[in-house]
């Protein structure tokens, strides 16, 4: 167990709540407007809620080995679902592009993209300063950075989509690639933790 700042617990919980709210809003908007980038971003946010809550629980327990197995299982499941999400987004984006179903960005999409980027960026910057305390916090900060990258793609697609109808599909493809890379990283991370048999940092004893 290690000593962590008291704000770490609040920060990890706030991140999970933000991912939940942004995810629900983006999925709903994406389905309503037939936007692959929006519903894909929302689904990616929702899939970060379980790992976020697992990290929050471990922080409350002092970041010892208690809860490590549950974190590994959670990340393994999430990595598989993220891989399926990346595949589904790729197929949906290609289908929309070739089929001419290219929605034009609405003010609601732009507003959500700005809100998501601003809030997720703030959370990631705060978590980045705690990443050196423990591998679990470092991985949590990395997942937060990926959400910032996805929000940036959503905003870029929404801005370009005002004049380029195919921008949503292109943004969706870019998100799919980044989500696939995240799924591979999560799967690799669980394998490393299993090999270490401890906190995820080899040599920790």
Is residue 197 scored above 90 in pLDDT? Answer: no
Residue 176 within a domain: yes
pLDDT band at 182 (very low <50, low <70, confident <90, very high): very high
Residue 36 within a domain: yes
Q: What is the percent of the chain with per-residue pLDDT over 70, rounded to a whole number?
A: 87
| Domains identified in the chain, total number | 1
Inter-axis angle of helices 49-60 and 7-33, nearest 10: 170
Long-range contacts formed by 190-194: CB under 8 A, 24+ apart: 190/72, 190/75, 190/76, 190/79, 193/68, 193/71, 193/72, 194/72
Mean per-residue pLDDT for 144-165? 92
d(CA 102, CA 115): 23
Backbone angles phi, psi at 70, to 5 degrees: -65, -40
Q: What is the pTM of this model?
A: 0.87
pLDDT digit string, tens, across residues 17-37: 999 999 999 999 999 988 999
Residue 204 within a domain: no
Residue 2 within a domain: no
Higher pLDDT among residues 1 and 63, named by residue: 63
Q: What is the CATH number of the domain that holds 171?
A: 1.20.1510
Mean per-residue pLDDT for 128-151? 91
Residue 205 within a domain: no
Whether residue 89 contacts residue 175, with contact meaning beta carbons closer than 8 Å, is answered with yes
d(CA 165, CA 148): 23
**Full residue range of the structural domain in which residue 159 is found:** 7-196
For 11, residues 6+ apart whose C-beta sits below 8 A from its C-beta are 123, 126, 127, 130
Residue 41 within a domain: yes
Residue 203 within a domain: no
């Amino acid at each position: 167990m290690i000593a962590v700042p008291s704000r770490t617990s609040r920060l990890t919980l706030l991140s999970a709540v933000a991912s939940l709210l942004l995810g629900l809003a983006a999925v709903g908007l994406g389905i309503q407007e037939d936007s692959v980038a929006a519903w894909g971003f929302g689904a990616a946010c929702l899939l970060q809620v379980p790992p976020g809550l697992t990290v929050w629980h471990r922080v409350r327990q002092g970041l010892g080995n208690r809860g490590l197995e549950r974190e590994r299982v959670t990340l393994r499941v999430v990595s598989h679902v993220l891989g399926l999400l990346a595949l589904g987004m790729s197929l949906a984006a290609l289908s929309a592009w070739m089929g001419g179903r290219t929605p034009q960005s609405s003010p609601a999409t732009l507003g959500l993209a700005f809100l998501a980027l601003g809030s997720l960026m703030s959370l990631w910057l705060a978590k980045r300063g705690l990443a050196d305390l423990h591998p679990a916090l470092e991985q949590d900060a990395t997942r937060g950075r990926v959400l910032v990258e996805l929000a940036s793609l959503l905003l870029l697609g929404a801005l370009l989509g005002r004049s380029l109808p195919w921008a949503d599909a292109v943004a969706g493809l870019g998100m799919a690639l980044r989500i696939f890379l995240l799924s591979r990283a999560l799967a690799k991370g669980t394998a490393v933790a299993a090999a270490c048999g401890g906190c995820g940092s080899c040599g920790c004893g």
